[in-house]
Amino acid sequence: MSIWWSLHLRREAASVPLARRLLLGTMETAGVDPDVSYDLSLALSEACANAVEHGGESGLPDSSAAYRVTAYLDGEKCRIEVTDSGPGFPPVRPRPTPMEAENGRGLCLIRELADHVQIGNKPGRGAVVSFDKILKWRKDAPLMAV
């Protein structure tokens, strides 16, 4: 079983729950275990929130107004990529963010919820956060990988 979709979303707060609901609906329909679905949807929400907040440059009118979310459910794994058109991540990462801090915990949370995380810059095209997780299936899963 293989399912994939891609969204081109405006950098607005309302786009975050839209992407999350689409992912949850896809996983529920496929028969993915609810705990795994929840973890991935929370990680996706954090990545989208980062793209909304940091993913554009004021000097670029069209490209900075949007970001892209792509999800792949392929066999036993789900891979999600969030790409924006912002300045990317700074070359030197600051010290880890304390858990009680109001901002800056999203990437740490994504690392905790996913099995594998890649964070990088695309020169002149923004940042990419991609993560994947091995799927677990409900016993009655209609689209379970064989």
Burial (0-12, 13-18, 19+ Cβ within 10 Å), 27: buried
pLDDT tens sequence across 15-66:
999 999 999 999 999 999 999 999 999 999 999 999 998 887 644 555 568 9
- Cα dihedral 86, 90, 91, 95 sign: negative
pLDDT tens sequence across 96-118:
556 565 666 889 999 999 999 99
Q: For residue 136, what are its two tokens?
A: 């677990």
How far is 114 from 116, CA to CA, in rounded Å?
A: 6
The pLDDT confidence band at residue 94, using thresholds 50, 70 and 90, is low
The pLDDT confidence band at residue 144, using thresholds 50, 70 and 90, is low
